[in-house]
Every structure is written in structure tokens, then in C-alpha cells.
């Protein structure tokens, strides 16, 4: 991976007297401005990262990778011919939820109050989704701790025709809701996630999920503070929470022959109010190749990969030992764009035009060599000729 030291870029800029006379911190800010500007125009291939994404039947919203800037590509990890490909259709948020292209696998980037998520509607079959409980029978539910007696509610529900309304009175800061389901054996439980819908009256400090053989033998994940999609837990909304049974803490002795019979959701620090529980599921996943463009362009000293967005960090500090990651063509474009900002402020038309000419040449060579691969958003529209039927 090619890199160019910040000190080298500054040295090249200082060959121009107008830049040399500019304070160093402002030249670094101009380099950062150039990076920010070019990100709006092109995503270079050296920022591509290959990750993986577990995709589930019936689940539409997924968390993005921590360094995700823009989606590049999503497909099966075992494609050997075009007919094997998932051929995702990249569309708008609106049409993703409308599922306009009903026969195609759909992807979309989704934003919710500043949180970016991936919308993935993977229609290919073969994955199991086992409903554990439909949350419509009160005798299957009990509450303890701060949680009162659950009752059936046919007004507010997410799935089916009802949910379980659970009154919570804040006292000990632990509200436990347990339900049973038809017991079963699952030898492949470690390759599945346990999902549950909950409507929050107020956002608790955290949520604990348990998938149980009994009250003393179970798999548990504590400290859940976000929805499965990566979005924050939200009051007055349905929240889909889940945990990976392969990574959950095992309490007691569990084997592939264990008989699963119940589940618990435990709210820590839930305020007084009415909370609602709806359908729970045990879901298989398939692993897809998840290619994305990283938002990091700068490698700090000692780092082999880019790990910072710009030369200035979040507390407005930079180091001349930091490196711009990318081919020489990229470094040249960044440098010339930064020089245009620096020298334009000095109002030197002759030098400005010379650098602009060099910048245009650098840009042309960069775009010829590295075309942008960000997928276009495709939408559909119809004309009904005043007869929508």
C-alpha cells in the first residue's frame, strides 16, 4: 500500500513561494479540505475494504461496519458464475421499503437520526426462521422484579394480531419478562441468532436477552444498548433486539441435545410505564461478501492501514509523520487541490492558473486509471394515464 508522508506533501507545496509563506497548520487544513472535496467526487479503490455480513430471513435492517463510508458491493461469497450471483438491486430508501422490485434482492443505505444502516432484502430461500412465541397467550408469560403481570393487548402490536402489555414500576431497576414456548432440540443453535421485538415506553439503561433450557441453564447476552440494526434503542417505537448464540455467555451445561423451552428479556433501569413484547424468532444466517469504501484516508505513525479520516484529528491535532494512503496520482490531486485553496487566498492569478493546469492533468490521469465504483441508486416510476387500477 503506497503512502505519502504529510511532511513530504508540505515540502512539495513549499516549492511555491506563496505556499511557503503560509503557516503550516493552514496548509494542513487545506489538504484536509482537498480530501473532503475529492470524497464528494470519487471513491478511490485503495479505500475498498472487504468485510462480511450475516443476513437473516425476515430481517431488513443491518449495522454497517465501523469504517463504512459508502457501499460498494454486496453478494454471495461463493459466486463462480453470473447465475450464482445475488444481483442486488440498489435502490432508494422509499422504494426499498415499498419493495417495488418484488422479484429482486434489494439493498439500500438507510439513515435514522444520524445512524447509517444497510437495508438488505435477501429473497433467496433456504434459511430457516423459527417462530418461538407469537406473544398472544398471557398464560405463557410472567413478570418479576419491576415487571408486573403481562396481559394480552390487541391494540398495539408488531406482528400477528396482539402483543403482551407489561406494566413496569421502577423500584429495583431490574424488570424480567419470561415466556415459554413449545420445547425443541436444535443441534445447530450456535449458528443462529435469537431475535425479539419490544416496544419501549422509555429507553432503559440496557437490555439482557436469555435463550433458555431452564432458569438455571441458558445462553445470555447482557448490556444490549442498541437495536440489531445498530440504531439506538427508541422510546415509543418497536425495537428489534437480538444476540448471537455462538457468542452468548453459557450458564450451566448446554449441549446439542439440550431441550430449549423458554426465553427471558430483562430491562435494566426501565422507567415506570407500559412496555410491550411481541414475536420472537430463532434465525439462521448466510454470510455475504460486504465490500465498502472506508472513510479513513490517513494512516497514523506505526499503522499499516488507514485509521483516521483527515490529517487533523478530532481534537484538532496533526502529526507530520502521518501518511496519506493511496497512489501517487491521488497524492498529486490532493496536493494541487490544496495548493489552489492556499494560493487563491494569496490572490496570485499567474501562479494560481499554473497550478490549476497541473491539477486538471492530475485529475484526468486519476479518473482514467481509477473509475468510481459506487453503485448508482436505481428507482422505478409508472404512468397510470389517470387510471391507477
SS (H, E, C) 214-263: ECCEEEEEEEECECCCCCECCCCCEEEEEEECCCCEEECCCCCCCEEEEE
**380: in domain:** no
Residues composing the chain = 389
Contacts of 90 (CB under 8 A, 6+ apart): 71, 106, 107, 108, 375, 376, 377, 378
In the block, cell 481534537 appears at 315
Q: Across residues 202-212, what is the average pLDDT?
A: 98
State the cell numbers at 279. Answer: 414475536
Residue 336 has pLDDT above 70, yes or no: yes
- Alpha helices by DSSP H, the chain: 6-13, 17-20, 24-39, 93-98, 328-346, 349-369
Shared-domain flag, residues 279 and 151:
yes
Residue 205 has pLDDT above 70, yes or no: yes
Comparison of pLDDT for 34 and 102, the residue scoring more: 34
Measured torsion, CA atoms of residues 152, 157, 125, 55, in degrees rounded to the nearest 10: -110
Supply φ then ψ for residue 363, to 5 degrees: -65, -45
Percent pLDDT > 70 in the chain is: 91
Supply φ then ψ for residue 124, to 5 degrees: -70, 140
Quickly state the pLDDT bin for 196 (edges 50, 70, 90).
very high
In the predicted model, what is the mean pLDDT of the chain?
Answer: 89
pLDDT of residue 345: 52
Least confident of 27-36, 144-153, 272-281: 27-36
Contacts of 112 (CB under 8 A, 6+ apart): 229, 231
State the cell numbers at 14. Answer: 513549499
pLDDT of residue 346: 52
In the block, cell 463510508 appears at 69
Supply φ then ψ for residue 306, to 5 degrees: -65, 135
pLDDT of residue 86: 80
**118: in domain:** yes
* Model pTM score: 0.84
Contacts of 280 (CB under 8 A, 6+ apart): 131, 132, 133, 135, 179, 181, 194, 195, 196, 197, 263
Q: Tell me which H or E stretch contains 161.
A: none
In the block, cell 493546469 appears at 357
Shared-domain flag, residues 163 and 211:
yes
Shared-domain flag, residues 135 and 258:
yes
Quickly state the pLDDT bin for 353 (edges 50, 70, 90).
confident
Shared-domain flag, residues 35 and 98:
no
pLDDT of residue 300: 94
**312: in domain:** yes
Comparison of pLDDT for 369 and 6, the residue scoring more: 6
Shared-domain flag, residues 316 and 189:
no
Last residue in a domain, options 284, 315, 348: 284
- The answer to whether 375 and 46 are in contact (CB under 8 A) is no
**51: in domain:** yes
Residue 384 has pLDDT above 60, yes or no: no
- Most distant CA atoms of the chain, gap in Å: 84
**219: in domain:** yes
Residues 31-57 have pLDDT tens digits of 999 998 888 777 888 888 999 999 999
pLDDT of residue 202: 98
Q: Across residues 294-316, what is the average pLDDT?
A: 92
Question: Cβ atoms within 10 A of the Cβ of 23, count?
Answer: 8
pLDDT of residue 46: 84
Q: Across residues 154-173, what is the average pLDDT?
A: 97
Pairing relation of β-strands 106-112 and 89-90? Answer: parallel
- The answer to whether 12 and 20 are in contact (CB under 8 A) is no
Could you list the residue range(s) of the whole structural domain that residue 303 is in?
3-45+297-369
Domain count, the chain: 3
**383: in domain:** no
Comparison of pLDDT for 84 and 244, the residue scoring more: 244
Shared-domain flag, residues 250 and 146:
yes
Residue 180 has pLDDT above 70, yes or no: yes
**382: in domain:** no
Quickly state the pLDDT bin for 165 (edges 50, 70, 90).
very high
**217: in domain:** yes
Residue 84 has pLDDT above 60, yes or no: yes
Residue 177 has pLDDT above 60, yes or no: yes
Quickly state the pLDDT bin for 358 (edges 50, 70, 90).
confident
Under DSSP, is residue 335 helix (H, G, I), strand (E, B) or coil? helix
Shared-domain flag, residues 51 and 11:
no
pLDDT of residue 195: 98
- The answer to whether 89 and 103 are in contact (CB under 8 A) is no
Shared-domain flag, residues 256 and 157:
yes
Comparison of pLDDT for 315 and 91, the residue scoring more: 315
Quickly state the pLDDT bin for 387 (edges 50, 70, 90).
low
Amino acid at each position: 500500500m503506497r503512502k505519502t508522508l504529510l511532511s513530504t506533501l508540505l515540502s512539495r507545496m513549499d516549492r511555491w513561494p506563496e505556499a511557503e509563506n503560509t503557516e503550516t497548520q493552514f496548509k494542513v487544513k487545506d489538504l484536509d479540505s482537498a480530501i473532503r472535496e475529492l470524497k464528494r467526487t470519487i471513491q478511490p479503490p485503495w479505500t475498498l475494504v472487504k468485510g462480511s455480513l450475516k443476513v437473516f430471513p425476515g430481517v431488513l435492517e443491518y449495522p454497517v461496519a465501523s469504517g463504512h463510508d459508502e457501499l460498494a458491493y454486496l453478494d454471495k461469497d461463493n459466486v463462480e458464475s453470473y447465475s450464482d450471483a445475488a444481483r442486488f438491486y440498489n435502490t432508494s430508501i422509499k422504494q426499498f421499503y415499498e419493495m417495488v422490485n418484488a422479484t429482486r434482492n434489494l439493498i439500500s443505505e438507510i439513515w435514522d437520526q444520524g445512524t447509517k444502516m444497510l437495508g438488505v432484502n435477501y429473497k433467496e430461500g433456504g434459511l430457516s426462521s423459527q417462530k418461538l412465541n407469537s406473544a398472544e397467550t398471557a398464560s405463557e408469560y410472567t413478570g418479576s422484579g419491576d415487571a408486573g403481570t403481562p396481559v394480552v393487548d390487541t391494540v398495539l402490536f408488531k406482528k400477528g394480531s396482539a402483543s403482551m402489555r407489561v406494566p413496569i414500576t421502577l423500584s429495583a431497576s431490574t424488570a424480567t419478562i419470561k415466556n415459554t414456548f413449545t420445547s425443541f432440540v436444535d443441534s445447530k443453535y450456535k449458528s443462529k441468532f435469537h431475535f425479539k421485538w419490544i416496544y419501549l415506553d422509555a429507553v432503559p439503561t440496557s437490555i439482557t436477552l436469555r435463550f433458555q433450557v431452564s432458569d438455571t441453564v441458558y445462553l445470555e447476552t447482557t448490556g444490549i444498548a442498541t437495536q440489531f440494526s445498530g440504531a439506538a434503542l427508541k422510546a415509543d417505537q418497536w425495537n428489534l433486539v437480538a444476540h448471537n448464540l455462538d457468542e452468548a455467555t453459557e450458564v450451566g451445561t448446554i449441549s446439542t441435545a439440550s431441550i430449549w423451552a423458554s426465553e427471558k428479556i430483562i430491562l435494566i433501569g426501565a422507567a415506570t410505564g407500559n412496555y410491550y413484547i411481541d414475536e420472537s424468532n430463532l434465525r439462521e444466517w448466510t454470510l455475504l461478501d460486504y465490500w465498502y469504501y472506508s472513510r479513513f484516508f490517513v494512516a497514523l505513525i506505526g499503522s499499516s492501514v488507514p485509521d483516521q479520516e483527515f490529517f487533523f484529528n478530532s481534537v484538532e491535532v496533526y502529526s507530520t509523520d502521518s501518511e496519506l494512503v493511496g497512489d501517487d496520482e491521488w497524492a498529486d490531486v490532493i496536493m494541487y487541490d490544496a495548493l489552489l485553496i492556499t494560493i487563491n487566498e494569496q490572490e496570485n492569478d499567474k501562479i494560481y492558473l499554473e497550478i490549476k493546469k497541473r491539477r486538471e492533468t492530475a485529475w484526468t490521469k486519476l479518473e482514467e486509471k481509477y473509475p468510481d465504483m459506487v453503485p448508482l441508486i436505481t428507482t422505478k416510476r409508472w404512468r397510470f394515464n389517470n387510471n391507477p387500477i
